Structure formats: C-alpha cells, structure tokens
Amino acid sequence: MNSTLVFFVGFVVSLVGVVPPGLLNMSAAKISLKEGYSRGLMFSVGVCIIVALQAYIALIFARYLSNHPSSIETLKRVALVIFVLITIYYLFIAKRRLKPDLDTTVRSKKSRFFLGLFMSSINMFPIPYQAYMGISLASFNILTFSQATITTYVLGAFSGTFAMLYMYMVFFEKVKTKNFTSQKNMNYLIGSITGIISIITFISILKNVLQ
C-alpha cells in the first residue's frame, strides 16, 4: 500500500469531515479573531490530537468489523440513509444564515491547547465517521488495516483536520468586516460532498449485492 496515497486519503477524509460549520471549527475561528492566530493554532493542535486518536480507534474498530461482513453491510445501509438525508437537507431545506461572530461560549483564559483537547474529546462524531470511511475504502482496496497503514492514515487525519481549522481561521479573518447575506454557497458545498459520499456508498452496496 502506497504510504503517500494512504496519507492523502486520510487527509481528505478528515478535511471533509470538518467542512460543515460546527463548534470546533467555529471556535477555532473565533479564538483566532479575538485572541490572535497563535492561540487559534494552539486550540487547533489540541483538537487534532484527539481527532487523530479517534481516527486510530475508528480504524481498529473498522478492522474488527471487516471480519464480520454482515455487520458491515448493515452499517453501509444505515450510513447511506443518513448521508442522503443530510444531502437533501443542505441542498433543499437549510436556509439559516452564517454569521462570523457566532457565540461559541469560549470564554476560558486558560491554555487553548487543553481547551482544544477537551472540546474535541466530547465530539464523538469522528469515530463512526472514520470507521465507516475506513470500511468503505477497504472495500475498494484503497486501504488496508496493517499497523503501518493505520499510522499513516492517522497522520493524514491529523493534518487534514488542522488544514480545515486553519482555513476557517484565515477565511473569517478575511471576511470579519463583511456581512453574510446567506449560507447558500456553504449549504451547496456540504450537500455536494455528502451527495458524493452517498453515491460512493450506494455503488459499494450495489457491488456487493451483484456479487
């Protein structure tokens, strides 16, 4: 298995997982705006360490599931329904506005690094997300579950998460003096990403049914 490819896959999967506006990326943006890049970066590093740990746990779980094909197919079908619903929501339903001055209730003056560790540790979404993506990638022979491959993927997951948090910080720094009229473009982006994942999942399920 090509280490560069595995790293890139882990990078992209994790980057996509942090694209939707949420507590972690919006907190990183707000800390950066109010307290400077250095604190925003320290917060992001704390977040990424936990995400990397969660990705490792997820792939170990995925390796276990790979020995139970019936469980994998059930997981894929459930995930397909979830991704389709998310796609429909963001493409056709979501109409909320995106404001750069979101109140994320981040008020602690203590180390932003440890705040990042804490906030990321209470966000459990990366584990099922990474487990599902790991199983899907393995089904296409893109990923194996050897220790070396898992370690490389986890490094990619760390880097991809950090890259997206950094992009949020840079983006909100550039638009802090501008007013957002709608969240339409962000909704379309998120809906398109989940739509692509839905299609990949459907192809994977269909592939197994036809075999």
* pLDDT tens profile 30-75: 888 888 888 999 999 999 999 999 999 999 988 887 776 666 666 6
Model pLDDT for residues 100-131, shown as the tens digit of each residue: 444 444 445 458 899 999 999 988 778 888 88
Q: Please indicate, yes or no, if residue 56 is contained in any of the structural domains.
A: yes
CA-nearest of 139, 167, 149 to 25 is: 167
Q: Please indicate, yes or no, if residue 36 is contained in any of the structural domains.
A: yes
Q: How many domains does the chain have?
A: 1
Residue 202 pLDDT greater than 80, yes or no: no
Q: Please indicate, yes or no, if residue 188 is contained in any of the structural domains.
A: no
Q: Please indicate, yes or no, if residue 201 is contained in any of the structural domains.
A: no
d(C-alpha 30, C-alpha 17), whole Å: 19
Domain residue limits at 159: 3-74+99-178
Q: Please indicate, yes or no, if residue 85 is contained in any of the structural domains.
A: no
Q: Please indicate, yes or no, if residue 88 is contained in any of the structural domains.
A: no
At a CB cut-off of 8 Å and minimum separation 6, what does 205 contact? 73, 76, 77, 80
Distances in whole angstroms, Cα of residue 7 to Cα of each of 146, 193, 194: 14, 20, 21
Q: Please indicate, yes or no, if residue 172 is contained in any of the structural domains.
A: yes
Q: Please indicate, yes or no, if residue 81 is contained in any of the structural domains.
A: no
Q: How many C-beta atoms surround the C-beta of residue 100 within 10 A? A: 19
